[in-house]
Chains A and B, each alone.
Chain A
Amino acid sequence: MSGAVFAQQLVNGIMLGGIYMLIAVAFTLAIGVLNFLNFSIPGIFMVGAIATWRALENGWPWVGAIAAGLLAAGVASYLVERFTYRWMRGLDHEIPLVSSLGFLILFENLVLIGYGSDQQTFPALMPDFNIRVAGLVIGTGQLISLVLALVLVIAASGLLERTRIGRGIRAVAENADTATILGVEIHRVVPALFILIGLLSGVSGILFAMNYLQVSAFMGHEIGLKGIAAMVIGGMGNIWGAILGGLLIGLIEVLSIAFFGANRADICVYGALLLLLVVRPEGLLGGSAIVREKL
C-alpha cells in the first residue's frame, strides 16, 4: 500500500469513527452515570432515523423531519428509563441490561411490522461532493458528520461540567444517596439524562442515514455494537474516551478491510475489544472522568 493510499485510509477511518463516536458517548453516559449497559441505544438510533425518513416521505421539510426524528428518539429513550431503570433502581445491574435488550427487540420488531425488513432509501439531504486536500479525498457529508459529532460531544461534556443539571448528573453518578441528601431530584435528573442519551443516539442515526442514504429496522446493530466496542476501548464512563474509542474503531475497521479484506474486519474490531477487556478492562483513558471507581 502506498503512502498516499494509506493516508486516504486513515482519513476514511476517522470519518467513519465520527459516526461511532456519538453512539459511544451515549453508551458511556449510561454506563458512567447509571452503571447501566443500555442495549436499547442501537434501537433508539434506528428509531431516530426511521422517524425522520417517515416524516420526509410524508413531505415534511427536512428541518421538521429531523425534529420529528429527534423527538421520537427522545421519547423512546424516556420510555426505556420509565420501564427499566426507574422500576429497578438499586437492583442487580443485569436486570436493566436485560430489559434494555427487550426494548431493542421491541423497537426493531415494531418497525418491522410497520415498514417491513427492506432497506428503505433515504433522500439525500447533504451536499454530496468531495473536497480534495493535499491529494486526500474527503466526503463533505462525512466531514459535516464528524464536525457535528465533535461539537455535540463537546457540548454534552460542557453540559455535564458546567451546568446545574450536569453537576446533578455527576453527583448521582458517584453516589445516588449522597446526591439525594444534597437535594438533587433523582427522578428529574435521571430522565433528563436518558433524554440526552436518546437525542445523541437519534442524531447519530439521522447522520448515518444522511451519509449512507438508507434506513432499515436493523440499521442500529452494526453501528451500535461497534459503538459499544468504542466505548469500552476508550474507557467506560469517559466521554473523551468514547471519542478516542470511536476514532480507533473506525480506523481499525477501515485499515483491517484494506489489509485483510472485508470479512476479517469484525475479527479485528471485536478481537481488539476482547483483548482489551481481558488485559485492560478500564480502557485506554483509564477509569472514568465522570466517576472514579464506579464499576
Chain B
Amino acid sequence: MLEVENLTVRYGRITALAELDLAVPEGRIVTVLGANGAGKSSLLKALIGLTPIAGGAIRWKGEAIHRRPASERVKAGLALVPEGRRILVSMTVEDNLKVGAYHRDDPAQVAREIDAIYQRFPNLAERRFQKASCLSGGEQQMLAVGRALVSGSSLMMLDEPSLGLSPIIIARLFELLVELNKGGLALLLVEQNTNMALSVAHEGHVLKLGRKIAHGTPQQLLADARLQEAYLGG
C-alpha cells in the first residue's frame, strides 16, 4: 500500500535519512526502530509532506505522492500522530477532532465517528467542550489517535506514541493499536520502546544515523545483535 524507495531527507548539510527502502502492506503493522537522531521522525514527516525530500520516491496505492502537498496526502488516507502529540491546546477537545476531519465533506458520518471515539474514550467525552490543555498526557495521546482516526485514514503513522506515558497507559495504547489494526487499519509505528513495538508489529526496520541497518520479523530482530548496536551506538 505504501512503498518508499531510496528516500533521502536532508536539512542543509545534515543527511537525516539516506536512501531508505520500506513498505507497509495493507493491514499490517510495520515498526521503525532506532535511537535518538536515527531519522525516524524525519521519515514520518517526509511521508506526510511536512519535510521536503531530497531524493527517492513515495508511492501510495501505486501513485507517486511525494510532490503532493500534505493536505492531499491526508485526503488520500495517510494520517500522522506526531511526536509529542501536538494537540491544539487552544482549542476544545471537540474542535481538535473536527480539525482531524478537516478535509471530509460528510459531516453526518464524521459526527457518528466522533461519537464512536467518545464512546471508546469516556474521558474525552466528559471534556469535549473544554480546552484540550486540561487533558492529561494519556488523554492527549488518545485524542491525538482519535484525531487521526476521524481523518478516515487507512494508514496511521505514529511517532513515539509511548513517550512520557505510564506503563499502564502504554499497555492500553498498544491494545488499542492492535484492535484498530484488526479492524483493517495499517500502522507505521516509530518507537524507541523496542519491546512494546516488536510485540505488536508484523515486521520491523532498524535505523542508525539515517541508514537502515536491519530488517526482519520481530523474532529475527530480537535475535539480531544489530538491534542492540543501534541503541548502544557500538
| Docked complex: A177-196 residues within 8 A CB-CB of B | 177-185, 187
Contact assessment for B133 and A182 in the assembled complex, using a CB-CB cutoff below 8 Å: no
- Give every chain B residue within 8 A of A171 (Cβ-Cβ): 88, 91, 99, 102
Contact assessment for B86 and A178 in the assembled complex, using a CB-CB cutoff below 8 Å: yes
- Give every chain B residue within 8 A of A175 (Cβ-Cβ): 86, 88
CA of A290 to CA of B89, assembled, Å: 11
CA of A292 to CA of B102, assembled, Å: 21
CA of A174 to CA of B147, assembled, Å: 16
Contact assessment for A164 and B102 in the assembled complex, using a CB-CB cutoff below 8 Å: yes
Contact assessment for A174 and B71 in the assembled complex, using a CB-CB cutoff below 8 Å: no
Say which one of B14-22, B26-34, B74-82 lies at the interface with A.
B74-82
Contact assessment for A182 and B99 in the assembled complex, using a CB-CB cutoff below 8 Å: yes
CA of A171 to CA of B147, assembled, Å: 13
Q: Is A235 located at the chain interface by the 8 A CB criterion?
A: no
- Give every chain B residue within 8 A of A167 (Cβ-Cβ): 91, 95, 98-99, 102
Q: Chain B residue with minimal CB distance to A170?
A: B91
Task: Report the minimal beta-carbon distance from B91 to chain A, rounded to whole angstroms.
Answer: 6
Contact assessment for B90 and A292 in the assembled complex, using a CB-CB cutoff below 8 Å: yes
Contact assessment for B90 and A183 in the assembled complex, using a CB-CB cutoff below 8 Å: no
- Give every chain A residue within 8 A of B86 (Cβ-Cβ): 175, 177-178, 181
Q: Which of A173, A182, A187, A292 contacts B100 (CB 8 A)?
A: A182
Q: Is A215 located at the chain interface by the 8 A CB criterion?
A: no
Given A170-B95, A174-B90, A174-B91, A184 and B102 touching (CB < 8 A)?
Answer: yes
Contact assessment for B99 and A184 in the assembled complex, using a CB-CB cutoff below 8 Å: yes
Given A183-B151, A184-B102, A178 and B82 touching (CB < 8 A)?
Answer: yes
Q: Is B172 located at the chain interface by the 8 A CB criterion?
A: no
**What's the tally of chain B residues with a CB closer than 8 Å to chain A?**
24
What's the dominant secondary structure at chain A's contact region? Answer: helix
- Give every chain B residue within 8 A of A292 (Cβ-Cβ): 89-90, 133
Q: Is B69 located at the chain interface by the 8 A CB criterion?
A: yes
Q: Is A206 located at the chain interface by the 8 A CB criterion?
A: no
**What's the tally of chain A residues with a CB closer than 8 Å to chain B?**
21
CA of A278 to CA of B49, assembled, Å: 42
- Give every chain A residue within 8 A of B100 (Cβ-Cβ): 182
Contact assessment for A183 and B70 in the assembled complex, using a CB-CB cutoff below 8 Å: yes
Q: Is B103 located at the chain interface by the 8 A CB criterion?
A: yes
CA of A61 to CA of B179, assembled, Å: 65
Q: Chain B residue with minimal CB distance to A171?
A: B99
Q: Is B4 located at the chain interface by the 8 A CB criterion?
A: no
Q: Chain A residue with minimal CB distance to B51?
A: A177
Q: Is A80 located at the chain interface by the 8 A CB criterion?
A: no
Q: Chain A residue with minimal CB distance to B90?
A: A292
CA of A251 to CA of B205, assembled, Å: 66
Q: Is B48 located at the chain interface by the 8 A CB criterion?
A: yes
- Give every chain B residue within 8 A of A178 (Cβ-Cβ): 82, 86, 88
Q: Chain A residue with minimal CB distance to B88?
A: A174
Task: Report the minimal beta-carbon distance from B130 to chain A, rounded to whole angstroms.
Answer: 13
Given A167-B102, A179-B99, A174 and B74 touching (CB < 8 A)?
Answer: no
CA of A133 to CA of B74, assembled, Å: 58
- Give every chain A residue within 8 A of B70 (Cβ-Cβ): 180-181, 183
Contact assessment for B95 and A183 in the assembled complex, using a CB-CB cutoff below 8 Å: no
Q: Is A168 located at the chain interface by the 8 A CB criterion?
A: yes
Q: Is A291 located at the chain interface by the 8 A CB criterion?
A: yes
Contact assessment for A183 and B82 in the assembled complex, using a CB-CB cutoff below 8 Å: no
Q: Is B64 located at the chain interface by the 8 A CB criterion?
A: no
Contact assessment for B80 and A181 in the assembled complex, using a CB-CB cutoff below 8 Å: yes
Given A174-B91, A178-B86, A168 and B99 touching (CB < 8 A)?
Answer: yes
- Give every chain B residue within 8 A of A184 (Cβ-Cβ): 71, 99, 102
| Docked complex: B10-50 residues within 8 A CB-CB of A | 48-50
- List the 3 closest A-B pairs by CB distance, nearest first: A183-B74, A185-B71, A178-B86
User: Interface on B for A, CB 8 Å cutoff?
Assistant: 48-50, 69-71, 74-75, 80, 82, 86, 88-91, 95, 98-100, 102-103, 133, 147, 151
User: Interface on A for B, CB 8 Å cutoff?
Assistant: 164, 167-168, 170-171, 173-175, 177-185, 187, 290-292
25 A-B contacts (beta carbon < 8 Å) = A164-B98, A167-B99, A170-B90, A170-B91, A171-B88, A171-B99, A171-B102, A173-B90, A177-B50, A178-B82, A180-B49, A180-B50, A180-B70, A181-B70, A181-B80, A181-B82, A181-B86, A182-B147, A182-B151, A183-B102, A183-B103, A185-B71, A187-B69, A292-B89, A292-B133
